[in-house]
Amino acid sequence: MKAKKPAQGKTADAVLNRPELFINWQLSQLEFNFRVLAQAVDASTPLLERLKFLCITDTNHDEFFEIKVAGLKQKIITGSVQTGPDNMAPADTIKEIAVRSHALVAEQFRVFNEALVPALSREGVRFLPRTEWTARQREWLRAHVNHVMPILSPVGLDPAHPFPRILNKGLTFIVALKGKDAFGRQGNMAIVQAPRSVPRVIKLLQNETGSGPSDFVFLSSVIHEFIGDLFPQMEVVGCYQFRVTRNSELYLDEEEIADLRRALEGELLSRRYGDAVRLEVADNCPADIISFLLDKFALSQDDLFQVDGPVNLHRLMAVYDLLDRPDLKYQTFTPKIPRKIARKINMFERIRDKDVLLHHPFESFVPVIDFVSEAARDPDVLAIKQTLYRTGPDSAIVEALVAAARAGKEVTVVIELKARFDEEANIALSNRLEDAGAHIIYGVVGYKTHAKMILVVRREEGDIRKYAHLGTGNYHARTSRLYTDYSFFTCDREITEDVHRLFLQLTSLGRVGKLKKLFDAPFSLHDSLLSKIERETLHAAKGQPAGIIAKLNHLTEPGIIQALYRASMAGVKVQLIVRSTCSLRPGLPGISDNIEVRSVVGRFLEHTRVLYFHNGGKPEVYCSSADWMVRNFFRRVETCFPIERPELRRKIIEDLECYLKDNSQAWVLQSDGTYRKLGPGAAEPFSAQTALLEKYSRPTGEA
The dihedrals phi and psi of 207, each to the nearest 5 degrees, come to -75, -20
Backbone angles phi, psi at 509, to 5 degrees: 70, 5
What are the two backbone dihedrals, phi and then psi, of residue 639, each rounded to the nearest 5 degrees? Answer: -130, 150
Instruction: Verify whether residue 469 is a known catalytic residue.
Output: no
Q: What is the C-alpha separation between 42 and 522, in angstroms, rounded?
A: 41
Which residues face 242 on adjacent strands? 172, 281
Query: b or e along 246-266 (b: 16 or more beta carbons within 10 Å of the residue's beta carbon)?
Result: bbbebeeeeeeeeebbebbee
For residue 601, give the nearest of 579, 626, 619 by alpha carbon. 579
Catalytically annotated residue among 224, 450, 476, 539: 450
Give long-range contacts, CB 8 A cutoff, 24+ apart: 197-202: 197/151, 198/148, 198/151, 199/315, 199/318, 200/171, 200/310, 200/312, 200/315, 200/318, 201/315, 201/316, 201/318, 201/319, 201/322, 202/141, 202/144
d(CA 141, CA 133): 10
- The contacts of residue 681 (CB under 8 Å, 6+ apart) are 663
Sign of CA dihedral 302, 303, 308, 314: positive
Please give the Cα distance from 50 to 194 (Å, whole number). Answer: 27
The dihedral through the CA atoms of 25, 27, 28, 33 has a sign that is: positive
Can you tell me the distance from the alpha carbon of 582 to that of 67, in angstroms, rounded to the nearest whole number? 18
Pairing mode, strands 125-127 and 214-218: parallel
Convert 196-220 to b/e letters by CB count within 10 Å (16 or more is b).
Answer: eebebbbbbeeeebebeebbbbbbb
Nearest alpha-carbon partner for 401 in 435, 424, 450 = 435
Q: Left, alpha or beta for 590 (phi > 0: left; psi -120 to 50: alpha)?
A: left
Q: Which residues contact 349 (CB under 8 A, 6 or more apart)?
A: none
The span from the CA of 80 to the CA of 158, in Å, is 38
Q: What are phi and psi of 291, to 5 degrees?
A: -60, -40
Q: What number of other Cβ atoms are within 10 A of residue 681's Cβ?
A: 7
The helix or strand, by DSSP H or E, that contains position 439, with its residue range, turns out to be strand 439-441
Question: Is the peptide bond prior to 85 cis by the omega test (within 30 degrees of 0)?
Answer: no
In order, the DSSP letters of 533-557 are HHHHHHHHHTT---EEEEEEEEE--
Pairing of strands 595-600, 666-669: antiparallel
Whole-number Å distance between alpha carbons of 343 and 701: 10
Residue 677 exposed, middle or buried by CB count within 10 Å (0-12, 13-18, 19+) = middle
Instruction: Please give the Cα distance from 441 to 386 (Å, whole number).
Output: 10
Total Cβ atoms within 10 A of residue 2: 8
d(CA 22, CA 20) in angstroms, rounded, equals 5
284, 238 in Cβ contact below 8 A?
no
Reduced to 3 states (helix: H, G, I; strand: E, B; else coil), residue 520 is: strand
Q: Is 662 helix (H, G, I), strand (E, B) or coil?
A: coil
Residues assigned a catalytic role: 450
